[in-house]
Structure 1
Amino acid sequence: MNDVLQTIHEVCRVIIENITNPEKRLYFGYLISSTALAYYVYYKTKSKKTFWSYIFNKKTWLSQSAKVDYLLLIFNSFVKVILIGPYLFFGLYIAFYTDDFLAKTFGYESIKLSVTQTLILYTVSLTLLSDFTTYILHYMMHRFKFLWEFHKIHHAATTLNPITQYRIHPIELILVNCKETIVFGLVMGLFDYLSVHQIEKITFLGINIFSFIFLFFGANLRHSSVKLKYFNFLEYFFLSPYQHQIHHSNLPEHFDQNLGSKLAIWDWMFGTLLCSNQVKKITFGISKEEDKQHKYNSFVNNLYLPFKNIYKAISNKMK
């Protein structure tokens, strides 16, 4: 019984940390900055609604789709505590063995970075590698049917709010965290080696300036109906909130576009970029063919349908 209560306590802590921890997207400071940016868009659109009804539309926040978002946030908090949390230390093991391998292979005398050089290069390297690998994983989730069945849960949202960010299947959650752990471990190990252990491990764990800028300047509007756009030239380098909303469009011409996380350069390089001025109207969700019976409006269905669809696809191929 104590173990159950402890788990529930940890889950509550994880949920609350979404608002109190500046490393989390839903941190109250980022919600405030996003609200300010939303007001700018509201002012520019000259909407006749009140600002309150503009950002807190009942059809968005109280929709069946939104209720699935909220339930998945809670459910995935249990997954994080039970399955993911205990294995995050694996990143530190990767860092240790990366550092150890480099030291045995090249020694410590050839290169030595200062603390300042290490922190700058570590931050830039981690940001670029993490963002690029996120693009690759996201691309694979759209291209490979068995991965798409899990990622489809996120795209099945027919209304977007900031919590839709956490509307992901537990299998995708595990894959994303494994990818991030490996990238973090490798980069941390490399720069721990290059700095000859001048920096405490806890320093590497802190939020970096690029993540802060991304989160502060409207990351929460990516999953919303607030159409915040950037200057056209800027959208070739940084994905605007509206560009990510285009990614959630259920129109075929928008499928598999704007797959990046923070940076647009990968989409630009690989031909998957759509800028805001190229799109006039969008509606959210997956194709009508994939959700003919609106099955993805159910929390339970969102959890088990990917397994059912994959099993069905394998069975059909084996016939």
Structure 2
Amino acid sequence: MELNTFFNTLSEAIEVSLSYLTSPNRRTYFVYLLSSFILAYYVYYKSKNKGDFLKFLFPKNIWLGKSAFVDYAMVMFNSVFKVLFIGPYLILGLYIAFYTNEFLLEKFGYATFNLNKTETIIYYTITLTIVGDFFTYLTHLLMHKVPFLWEFHKVHHSATELNPFTQYRIHPIELLINNAKSLLVFGVLTGIFDYLSNHQINKLVFLGVNVFGFLFMFLGANLRHSHIKLTYPSFIEKLLISPFQHQIHHSNSPEHFDKNMGSKLAIWDWMFGTLILSKSTKKIEFGIEDKHNEFTSFLGNIVSPFINIFNSIKKYLLFLSSH
């Protein structure tokens, strides 16, 4: 029985790993990779690069380097982690939606007006995009500003070369936090719109890919983690984070620390003073400080955050005991 459980878990983990290429909910869905390929050619053409396009797009040091293999290993490891620790709890989002709806019914009674199906889908999509993006920004901000959380987020920033799978170079603890945030936002908003629509929409419809998410991923989201410097006009970069703006976020230059932390929208960075436009930056290098070489291996990325946190607590306790 235990052997069957092991093979079932392994099979599910493989399915999750493959879904990164086959599911339209994933940024690295093959359709989005194809559209990114086309946009990369646009950047290549505009740069007047005279070299071979495929060599421009697939340099060995980026796709077959040590940093890349850590990315690939993290994808596989986190696939198993999701099957074991996240997948069984995704239904919590629907429970949150149910209890949010029940709370509104108890507090206000039936809504005095109801949104029709079309209105529900349109308003829900817009609201989920804006509110979800705002909470993603806040979570990301906390990851950078709170030392405990930064130790885990440091894993993502430890990549010295970026490729589309660097998106999934995330420590399992951060993965839990991100999923908890997403479930909470999804659950509360779904419950509110379920209440406002008088339950006209099947809950499964709310789980679909919305049009803004599709456009975001189709229009080059994969190039955010890459060496392809796709920029937008400055007036657009004040509204939407361009791929190169996110690359600036990964820069190891102190002037770029804690900048461009938005996911899709740049307005939060503009509001909180963390926005940098592409035109202000020419050349960047990725990674974190050299002294953090413990993050260069897969095992180091998994274990080092716990070791660093333990050492910090130990150091703090020793400080307290000596004063």
- Report the AA paired with residue 132 of structure 2: S
After TM superposition, give the deviation of residue 110 of structure 1 in Å.
1.3
Q: Could you tell me which runs of 5 or more consecutive residues in structure 1 were left unpaired when the two chains were aligned.
A: none
Is residue 306 of structure 1 aligned with residue 308 of structure 2?
no
Structure 1: distance between partners of 2:152 and 2:25: 26
- Report the AA paired with residue 274 of structure 1: I
Contact 2:101 2:191 in 1 (8 A): yes
Determine what percentage of the aligned residue pairs are the same residue.
55
2:270 match: 268
1:144 match: 146
Structure 2: distance between partners of 1:318 and 1:18: 43
2:230 match: 228
After TM superposition, give the deviation of residue 230 of structure 1 in Å.
0.2
2:102 match: 100
Instruction: Write the mapping of 1:55-66 to structure 2, written as runs, cut at 5 A.
Output: 55-66=57-68
After TM superposition, give the deviation of residue 253 of structure 1 in Å.
0.3
Instruction: Write the mapping of 1:100-179 to structure 2, written as runs, cut at 5 A.
Output: 100-179=102-181
- Report the AA paired with residue 33 of structure 1: S
1:74 match: 76
- Report the AA paired with residue 259 of structure 1: M
1:231-276 alpha-carbon deviations (Å, 9 max, x no partner): 1100000000000000000000000000000000000000000000
After TM superposition, give the deviation of residue 295 of structure 1 in Å.
1.9
Instruction: Write the mapping of 1:248-287 to structure 2, written as runs, cut at 5 A.
Output: 248-287=250-289
SS in 1 for 2:161: coil
After TM superposition, give the deviation of residue 34 of structure 1 in Å.
0.2
1:206 match: 208
Structure 2: distance between partners of 1:111 and 1:305: 54
Contact 2:152 2:173 in 1 (8 A): yes
SS in 1 for 2:265: coil
After TM superposition, give the deviation of residue 116 of structure 1 in Å.
1.0
After TM superposition, give the deviation of residue 287 of structure 1 in Å.
2.2
Change in 2 beyond 3 A, CA 1:103/1:155: same
Structure 1: distance between partners of 2:22 and 2:295: 31
1:49-95 alpha-carbon deviations (Å, 9 max, x no partner): 21100110001011101110000000000011000000000000000
2:39 match: 37
After TM superposition, give the deviation of residue 111 of structure 1 in Å.
2.5
1:238 match: 240
- Report the AA paired with residue 93 of structure 2: G
SS in 2 for 1:258: coil
Structure 1: distance between partners of 2:237 and 2:301: 32
Q: TM-score, normalised by structure 1?
A: 0.98
1:91 match: 93
After TM superposition, give the deviation of residue 161 of structure 1 in Å.
0.2
Structure 1: distance between partners of 2:67 and 2:32: 23
Q: TM-score, normalised by structure 2?
A: 0.97
- Report the AA paired with residue 14 of structure 2: C
2:30 match: 28
What's the RMSD between the two structures over aligned residues? Answer: 0.7
After TM superposition, give the deviation of residue 149 of structure 1 in Å.
0.3
Structure 2: distance between partners of 1:49 and 1:158: 24
Contact 1:251 1:287 in 2 (8 A): no
Structure 1: distance between partners of 2:20 and 2:107: 41
- Report the AA paired with residue 119 of structure 1: I
After TM superposition, give the deviation of residue 296 of structure 1 in Å.
1.3
Q: Could you tell me which runs of 5 or more consecutive residues in structure 2 were left unpaired when the two chains were aligned.
A: 319-323
Structure 1: distance between partners of 2:156 and 2:48: 31
Contact 2:164 2:226 in 1 (8 A): yes
Q: 45-54 vs 203-212, which deviates more?
A: 45-54
- Report the AA paired with residue 94 of structure 1: I
Contact 2:151 2:308 in 1 (8 A): yes
- Report the AA paired with residue 184 of structure 1: F
Structure 1: distance between partners of 2:111 and 2:76: 49
